[in-house]
Amino acid sequence: LSDRLTSALQTLSRKGRLSDADIDATAREIRIALLEADVALSVVKDFIARIKERAKGAEVHGALNPAQQVIKIVNEELVTILGGETRRLTFAKNPPTVIMLAGLQGAGKTTLAGKLALWLKKQGHAPLLVACDLQRPNAVTQLQVVGERAGVTTFAPEPGNGVGDPVDVARRAIDEAKRAQHDIVLVDTAGRLGVDEELMKQAADIRDAVTPDETLFVVDAMIGQDAVTTAEAFRDGVGFTGVVLTKLDGDARGGAALSVRQVTGQPILFASNGEKLEDFDLFHPDRMASRILGMGDVLSLIEQAEQHFDQEKAEQTAAKLGSGQLTLEDFLEQMLAVRKMGPIGNLLGMLPGAGQMKDQLAQVDDKHLDKLQAIIRGMTPAERDDPKMINASRRLRIAKGSGVAVRDVNDLVNRFFEARKMMAQMAGRFGFGGGGGGSK
C-alpha cells in the first residue's frame, strides 16, 4: 500500500504547476552558475527575479522533473535575452556603409577589422579598412598586415607626416571609398587600457566625422565583471548599435555577453574565437546560453527526455487508434492539437482517406469544437475512458452540466464511435497502430 501511495503522490507532484520550493531550490543553483560565468551581480539579480516570475506560472512537463523544468525555462529565457534570432548588419541605402569599431585596447578591434573584411569580401563586398588608431606606432602596420591577409585595401595616413589626425584620416577615407567604389568602410579606432575621457572624445569625434551606419562595441569575453561598466561607458561616450564578443576560444564562460546585452539592450552580432582571420562567426544565442549556464549535459538530457516523451505519447495514441481503444480524452486531445495548427478546413483535405469523412468533418468548425470540448469536459474521467458506459441518465447529467441539449451529447457519442471505427480501419490500411487489439 505504501508503495502505491508513494507513486500516487509522485504523480500528484508531477501535475499542475511548479511549486515555489522547486523554483527556489533550482534558482540557487542557477545563481551560482551565472556568477561563476562572470555575469555581473546586478544582472544576475534581475535575471533570477525574472525567472522566478516566469517559472511560477509554468506547468510541469510530464517528461521532466521540476529542477529540469526550471533549467529549461532558464535556458529559454537566456536565449531570448541574448537575442533570439541573430540580427544582421545594417547596410546603408547609399554606399558606402560605414562600420566603426570601438572598444578598449586589446579587445580585438584590429583583428576583428580583418575578420570582418574577409567575411564581407567573401559575400561579394569590397570593404576598405581605415586606420584611425594613430595612438601606437605599430597600430597602422598591424591593420595593414591583417588587410593584406584578408586581401583588402587599407587606407592609412602617409608615413613621415608626424602623428596624423584620426578624424581627418576618417574623413578622407570616406572620399577615397567613394572614388574607388568600396561599398563598405571599416573604421578601426584606438583604445585605452581603461575607460578615459580623451579616448571617448576621440571616438565620438570620428563618429561625428563619418556618421557610421553601425558602431560595433568590441568586448573581450574574458573581461568578466567589468563588462557592465565598460559597456555603459561606451554606450554613454560613443553610443553603439551592436556588440562583438571576442576571445571566445578562451575558457571564459561568457557571462559578459549576458551583462552587456542586458544593460545596453544592443544585440550581439558576431563572435570571435581565435587569432586567425577565419576564427569568426555570427553570434548564436543558443550556443552562448548553454555556455553561460555551463549545463550542456543537463540541457541535452532535457531535450532527449522531451523528445522521447512526445514520441512515446504519439506512439501510444497511434496504438490506441489502431486497436480501436481510442478514448474520448484522446479524441479531445487530438481535436485540440489539430485546432492549434490553424484553420481546420485546410488540413482536413490533406488527410489520407478523409473523403468519406468529409461531410462529417465539414461541420467541425471552431464553434462546434468549443461545444464538443464543453461536453467532454463535463464527463467524468471514467466516462471519457470508456464511453460505452454513458447511458441515458449519464447523458442527461452531462447535457445539463455543460449547458447543451441531450441531443448534442448523443451526437457526440455516436460520432465518436463512428470515428473510432473508421480510424481503426484507416490505421490498418496505412499500417500504423497496435494492430488487432479488440475493441472495448
The residue (of 113 and 289) whose beta carbon lies closer to ligand GDP is: 113
Residue 262 makes contact with ligand GDP by CB under 6 A:
no
115 binds, among ligand GDP, Mg ion, none (CB under 5 to 8 A by kind): none
Q: How many CA atoms lie within 13 A of 195 on its CB side?
A: 14
- Binding positions for Mg ion, 97-116, rule CB under 5 A: 109-110
| DSSP result, 84-153 | SSPPPPPPPSSSPEEEEEE--TTSSHHHHHHHHHHHHHHTT--EEEEEE--SSTTHHHHHHHHHHHHT-E
Q: Where are the alpha helices (DSSP H) in 164-266?
A: 166-179, 197-210, 227-237, 255-264
3-state secondary structure 39-99: CCHHHHHHHHHHHHHHHHCCECCCCCCHHHHHHHHHHHHHHHHHCCCCCCCCCCCCCCEEE
Q: Which stretch binds ligand GDP (CB under 6 A): 17-25, 124-132, 246-254, 309-317?
A: 246-254
Residue 105 makes contact with ligand GDP by CB under 6 A:
yes
To ligand GDP, the closest distance from the beta carbon of 322 in angstroms equals 56
Considering only residues 26, 75, 97, 111, which one is a binding residue for ligand GDP as defined by CB under 6 A?
Answer: 111
The residue (of 220 and 408) whose beta carbon lies closer to ligand GDP is: 220
Considering only residues 77, 205, 249, 333, which one is a binding residue for ligand GDP as defined by CB under 6 A?
Answer: 249
To ligand GDP, the closest distance from the beta carbon of 201 in angstroms equals 18
Which residues in 317-334 are b (16+ Cβ under 10 Å) and which e?
A: bebbbbbbbbbbebbbee
- Binding positions for ligand GDP, 170-199, rule CB under 6 A: 191
**CB-CB contact of 262 with 43 (8 Å):** yes
Considering only residues 52, 72, 207, 247, which one is a binding residue for ligand GDP as defined by CB under 6 A?
Answer: 247
Round to whole Å and give the CA distance between 316 and 296.
30
Considering only residues 73, 100, 107, 219, which one is a binding residue for ligand GDP as defined by CB under 6 A?
Answer: 107
The residue (of 55 and 216) whose beta carbon lies closer to ligand GDP is: 216
**CB-CB contact of 227 with 219 (8 Å):** yes
Matching residue, cell 570593404: 127
| Biggest alpha carbon–alpha carbon distance for the chain | 103
387 binds, among Mg ion, ligand GDP, none (CB under 5 to 8 A by kind): none
DSSP, collapsed to helix, strand or coil, labels residue 386 as coil
Binding mask 401-430 for ligand GDP (x = CB under 6 A): ------------------------------
Residue 275 makes contact with ligand GDP by CB under 6 A:
yes
The residue (of 131 and 413) whose beta carbon lies closer to ligand GDP is: 131
To ligand GDP, the closest distance from the beta carbon of 2 in angstroms equals 59
- Interhelix angle 296-323/328-340, nearest 10 degrees: 120
Q: Which stretch binds ligand GDP (CB under 6 A): 64-72, 106-114, 282-290, 360-368?
A: 106-114
Q: Which residues bind ligand GDP (CB under 6 A)?
A: 103, 105-111, 191, 246-247, 249, 272-275, 279
